[in-house]
Chains A and B, each alone.
Chain A
Amino acid sequence: MLTNYAGLGIILIWGMVFPTLLLLLAKLFYPKNPTPVKLQTYECGLETQGETWVQFKISYFMYALIFVAFDVETIFLYPWAVKFQSLGLFGIVEMFIFIAILLIGFWYAWKEGALEWM
């Protein structure tokens, strides 16, 4: 088992090495003559105006908040799903209560308009 996880480390290292090798390979071929105009930020034929890193729309943040709640739920649901068949009726009822509580929260977010894209 531990060897399996050590294998993941090897794969991680490959994941870093392989793109680096590709970059080094390409470095042998591509021309290198950067000019100030070439390094400008891309815009459709104009010069870019103002700051890019500004405050962003709130609705992205609302979605992220609900996502966190649901994502944590999935972490609880997966072990339950694995053991589901041996837990019997107790497991079913227990998890349905858990899902019901979450659904109430989901319904509240829906009602308050957190799921609306404005």
Chain B
Amino acid sequence: MEKSFFNTIADALRNWLMNGLGFSDTAAQLTATAIWTLVVILFILMNLIVLVWLERKFSAFFQQRRGPNRLGPAGFLQFPVDIVKVLGKEDIIPANADKTVFKIASTCLFITTILAWAVIPLGDGVILADLNIGLFYFLAIGSTATVSLMMGGFSSNNKYSLIGGMRTVAQMISYEIPMIFSLLGVVMMVGSLRLSDVVAAQQNMWFIVPQAIAFLVYFVATVAETNRGPFDLAEGEQELVAGYFTEYSGIRYAIWMIAEYGNLVAVSTIASIMFLGGWNAPFGLTFIPGFVWLLLKIYFMIFLFMWVKWTYPRIRIDHLMHFGWKFLIPVSLANILVTGIGIYVYRLIIG
């Protein structure tokens, strides 16, 4: 149902560009991509508004406070006011900083975020670029985020930023391997890297059932990948002030935040698509459109992220690295082997 809705708009747009304005086929498609990219950016920004509010409300709830409650219903208008405040803040670039790198670092992170969003479908056929190597592309682009975080940490010429940036790199490269390995089991079961194929393969059973361990590994690894608590050592307030964005202020700080929350929504969406059935409706409740189901699953994942963040204390860095290398990597490798043998035995029985 929602397929026809989104696809009708997309087709109408393409028709209008080709017939109304006389664009060629390729030009029309590229222009349509440009317009849809803007829609995706707006989607990320809308999510940001809700997420910052939810984060503050949840943290208040878990700590038995009230959270923002002055502006608007339940403090919902607090964040728009914060945006206005951020726009009015002076953009301070420290005199000792490596100024060029300092200026482009936050933009670089935003580029990786929006490029990762290119292959993430938000419904059947609602996708910017339907690549046949979609998942591989997502992982490849996602790992380049490390570079921009390092740029931010290194260029600030501040000890807190440098240590924060180094820790981020160490943590992200350590947890990237279990994350990639955990998704391999699903790829083996589907036999395709295109995310819409993965969703189509889950019509009868969500992959969280046969790949429960992979789901847990993916969840823990992405908490570390997005630098959220209890793995937020890179920006541990008590020891590193704010980690790699200590020196950032005003709108540049806001761009960091947009990109970070964009990444959070992206990894939650990948989790929903790979393990929770994507836009497939559970229990045959197909009268609710798939897009709504996907959003519900994304927000369920985000709720889990926030729950974990505000429940557990921050862990020590040596424990963090040991957990990643000595526990998660062997477990995720074993999961690949078990999945491989399992599929082989299953096919022997089926014939």
A positions within 8 Å CB-CB of B: 1, 3-8, 10-12, 14-16, 18-20, 22-23, 25-27, 29-34, 36, 38-44, 48, 52-53, 56-57, 60, 63-64, 66-67, 70-71, 74, 77-78, 81-86, 89, 92, 95-96, 99, 103, 106, 110, 115-117
Chain B residues whose CB sits within 8 angstroms of the CB of A56 once the complex forms:
166
Check A96 against B94 for contact (C-beta < 8 Å).
no
Q: In the complex, how many angstroms separate the beta carbon of A23 from the nearest chain B beta carbon?
A: 6
Chain A residues whose CB sits within 8 angstroms of the CB of B326 once the complex forms:
110, 115
- Pick the contact of A67 from B86, B162, B174, B254 — CB < 8 Å? B174
Given contacts A30-B89, A70-B329, A84-B340, 11 further A-B contacts (CB under 8 A): A11-B115, A14-B41, A15-B110, A19-B255, A42-B160, A42-B247, A44-B241, A64-B170, A74-B139, A81-B187, A92-B341
Check A5 against B129 for contact (C-beta < 8 Å).
yes
Residue B87 lies at the interface, judged by CB distance under 8 Å to chain A = yes
- Which DSSP category, helix, strand, loop or mixed, fits chain A's interface? helix
Interface set, chain B 157-190, CB cutoff 8 A to A = 157-160, 162, 166, 169-170, 173-174, 176-177, 180-181, 184, 187-188
User: What number of A-B contacts does a CB cutoff of 8 Å give?
Assistant: 196
Check B188 against A74 for contact (C-beta < 8 Å).
no
Surface stretch bound by A, among B208-216, B270-278, B279-287, B315-323: B315-323
Surface stretch bound by A, among B25-33, B58-66, B298-306: B25-33
Which residue of B has the minimal Cβ distance to A106?
B329
Q: In the complex, how many angstroms separate the beta carbon of A7 from the nearest chain B beta carbon?
A: 4
**A19-B255, A81-B187 given; A42·B343 CB < 8 A:** no
Residue B78 lies at the interface, judged by CB distance under 8 Å to chain A = no
Residue B107 lies at the interface, judged by CB distance under 8 Å to chain A = yes
Check A63 against B347 for contact (C-beta < 8 Å).
no
